[in-house]
Chains A and B, each alone.
Chain A
Amino acid sequence: MTFADVPGFASASEERGETTVVVETARLREAAEYLRDERGFNFLADIAAADYLGWNERTVAGYWGHREGRDINRPGSWGLAKKPEPKAKRFSVSYHLVTVVSGARAAARVRLQVWCDDGEPVPSVVSVWPTADWHEREAYDLMGIEFEGHPSLKRILMDDDWEGHPLRKDYPIGGEPVRFSGAE
C-alpha cells in the first residue's frame, strides 16, 4: 500500500511490519480526512505523543574507564550500545489508524505521525474521529501538545490547576512540592 498521495506527505517507512506515514503538521487534518474517506481508516485506535528531549545525547557504552575514571553519578552513564538517529523535532504525535469492517478477517493499520516543537500547534482531528477528543486532551495534559481547533482542550488526568506536563522528559521525577502537607 502506498501513501505517497496522502495530502502533506513527508515520508513513509516500513519497520517490523508497521507502516509509519509522516505528514506535514499543518496539513494533518487534510491527511486524516483523506485516510478516513478514501482509504477506509475509519477507526482511530490511539493517539500517542512522545518527547524526544535528550534523545541520542547519551554517550556510547563502554566497559573500560578512561584516564579520568568512570563517572558513575552522571545520569544515563550506562550509555547506549549505538547512538540512535537524531529526531527532527522534539515531539512526535502518532495516530494509530485501523480499517474496521464488520466480519473482516484482516485489517490494515497505519501510524500517521506528525512532529512538532514546544508550543507549536497541531491541528485537532476531533472533527474527523470523535474519539480523538479525550486522546488529545490526554496528550495535552501529560505532554503539553497544543491541539488547534479542539472544542475543549483542558486537562483530563491531572488536576485542573496542575503545573507542568508530567510525561515530558524535563519534568522532575522527584522533589515536587507536596500539595497537602500538614503545615498549610
Chain B
Amino acid sequence: MASTAARRHAPIYTGTRIPSPIPSVLKVDPALREDDDILEVNFGPNHPSTHGVLRLIVELNGERVEGVEAVIGYLHTGFEKNMEQKTWWKAITYPERIDYLSFQINELAFVLAIEKLLEVEPPAKATWMRTLLCELSRIHSHLIWLGTGALELGAISLLWYCFRERDAVLDLFELVTGVRMHTRYFQAGGLAEDIPPGFFTECRKFADMFPGRVDEYEALLDRQAIWLERTKGIGLLSAEDAIALGQSGPVLRASGVDWDLRKVEPYLAYDQVDFDVPVYFNGDVYDRYKVRMDEMRESTRIVQQCLDGMPEGPWIVDDRKIVLPPRHELHTSMESLIHHFKLVTEGYRVPVGEVYVAIESARGELGCYVVSDGGPKPWRVKFRAPSFVALEATATTVAGSLVADLIAILGSLDTVMGDCDR
C-alpha cells in the first residue's frame, strides 16, 4: 500500500544533494569565495537552539548558508569506556544517560542485548510493561521536541503546554519506579519491581486525556501562518539521500520511506498490538513535525492496548544466577544470601559472544553492539546513536537555505547532544 502511495508522490528532488567528497561538510563554491562576501559564523557551541552543545561553522553569503560543518564532541563523557569497567548490571544505569530524553528506550536496548547473550526470555508481564513504558518515553521525547522546536520558531506558548503533559508522563514514571528520569527499571530478565497498584488507573487517565491534547497542539500550529511559512518546503531530504545518509526514524518516514523497526523486526509486544506507521512524502520540516504528531497518537493507542492486555504473573524470571532473590528470603535462606552477595559483589557472567540489538527509539534506529568475553563485565559496548547519524544530514538539508531556517532544520532532525557525543 505504502509503495503505491510513494509512486503517486513526485520525488522530493532528483539526483543527490549529499556534498562530495566529504558527505557531512558543505563547502563554499570557490567562485563565490572570490567575491569576498562570505562571512564565517560560529553557531554554538552554546546557543539555546542547539539542544545541547553543538557547534556549526556556518559560511554565509548574505542570509544564505553556503557552507556548513558540524563540530561535535563537547558532551563526550566516555560512557562506552565506563561501561567496560562496570559489572553488567551496574552498566545498565549508563545507557539511559546517553539519550536523556528517551531514557527507557536506551536502557531497553542494552538490557535486550544482555538477554540475547544470556538467552533469557523475560515473562510476559515484563515485556508488556516495557512496551508501555517505551511508548510513554517516546511521547515524552516527542513532547520536548515539539515544545522546544516550536519555541525556536517563536511559538512560545506551546512549550508550556508540552511541558505540562511531559510532567504528567514523568509523574507516571515516578509512580512506577520512584524516579522521574533515568529510572533504571529494566533488569536483565524482567523488571526491577512489580508494577505498583494505582498505576493503571493513573496511566489510563493520561491515555484518555492525551489524544485531545495532541489535537490542541496541532490546532495551535497548523492554523498559524508563521509556523506553516517557516516549516513547509524547508530542509529537504529525499528518500534516497536519507537512506544513503543512514537516517532513520521520523526523519526517514517524513521522506516517504515506510520503515519502522517496531513493524519490520518486532521486538517486545509490538507484534501483538495494533498501530500504524505514519509516513509523509515531502521530506521537509513540516512533514517531520507531522510524523511526530501522528506518532504521539499511535503511541497512545499502544499504551491503551498495553493497559488492556497487561498479563498477570511474575515481573522477572526466577533465575537466581542473574536475578536478585526476594528480599524476605535473605533472612531465612542461606542460599539466597549467597546468591545476593555474589550478584552484588561480582555480578553475573554473560556467555562469550557478540550481538547487535536494534530497536526503534524516538529518534530512529538505536543499536547496541555488545561483546562479552564470558566475564562479569562487558568487553565492549557500542551504541549506534540516532542523533549522531542525524547530524550527518545537516550539510545535505541546509544547503542553500536561509540562516534563520537553519534553526528550524536542525530542530527537525531532533538531535540530543548527549546521545550524539556519548
Interface residues in chain A, defined as those with a beta carbon under 8 Å from any beta carbon in chain B: 15-16, 18, 20, 42-46, 48-51, 55-56, 58, 76, 78-85, 94, 96, 98, 100, 102-107, 109, 111, 126, 129-131, 133-134, 138, 142, 151-152, 155-159, 166-167, 171, 173
Contact = CB atoms under 8 A, between A and B. Distances in A.
Which of A42, A94, A109, A157: most chain B Cβ within 10 A? Answer: A157
B6 A80 contact: no
Given A44-B246, A58-B375, A78-B346, 6 more contacts: A96-B367, A100-B259, A103-B2, A133-B22, A133-B392, A151-B21
A166 B346 contact: no
* Top-8 shortest CB links A-B: A131-B246, A130-B23, A103-B2, A46-B384, A157-B73, A48-B382, A151-B21, A48-B369
Nearest to A79: B375
B23 A133 contact: yes
Given A84-B374, A167-B80, A46 B379 contact: no
A162 B73 CA distance: 12
B239 interface: yes
Contacts of A155: 73
B256 interface: yes
Interface of B: 1-3, 6, 18, 21-25, 72-73, 76, 78, 80-81, 85, 116-117, 119, 239, 243-246, 248, 256-259, 263-265, 346, 349, 352-356, 358, 365, 367, 369, 371, 373-376, 379-380, 382, 384, 388-389, 391-392, 421-422
Given A131-B392, A166-B81, A81 B23 contact: no
A82 B374 contact: yes
Contact of B72 (A48, A96, A156, A171): A156
A103 B23 contact: no
Given A48-B369, A103-B3, A166-B78, A82 B259 contact: no
Contacts of B346: 78
A107 B261 CA distance: 9
Contact of B358 (A16, A45, A130, A157): A45
Contacts of B239: 102
Contacts of A56: 373
A76 B315 CA distance: 33
Contacts of A79: 375
28 contacts: A18-B356, A43-B246, A44-B246, A45-B248, A45-B367, A48-B384, A50-B371, A50-B382, A76-B375, A78-B375, A80-B349, A83-B374, A84-B352, A94-B354, A96-B367, A102-B2, A102-B3, A102-B6, A102-B259, A103-B3, A103-B258, A129-B246, A130-B23, A130-B245, A131-B389, A134-B24, A134-B389, A173-B81
A83 B369 CA distance: 21
A46 B369 contact: yes
Given A48-B369, A100-B243, A134 B374 contact: no
Contacts of B244: 42, 129-131
B257 A100 contact: yes
B328 to A, nearest CB: 28
Contacts of B258: 102-104
Nearest to B245: A131
B384 A45 contact: yes
B393 to A, nearest CB: 9
B44 to A, nearest CB: 16
A80 B374 contact: yes
A96 to B, nearest CB: 5
B81 A167 contact: yes
A42 B243 contact: yes
Nearest to B19: A130
A59 to B, nearest CB: 11
Given A46-B382, A102-B259, A157-B421, A84 B265 contact: no
Given A81-B349, A102-B2, A133-B22, A16 B245 contact: no
Contact of A102 (B81, B257, B353, B392): B257
Which of A48, A49, A76, A167: most chain B Cβ within 10 A? Answer: A48
A81 B342 CA distance: 14
B341 to A, nearest CB: 13
A158 B73 contact: yes
A165 B277 CA distance: 41
B356 A111 contact: yes
Given A16-B355, A78-B346, A134 B369 contact: no
A107 B265 contact: yes
A133 B2 contact: no
Given A45-B246, A46-B382, A151-B22, A157 B72 contact: yes
Contacts of B356: 18, 46, 48, 94, 96, 109, 111
B335 to A, nearest CB: 16
B345 to A, nearest CB: 10
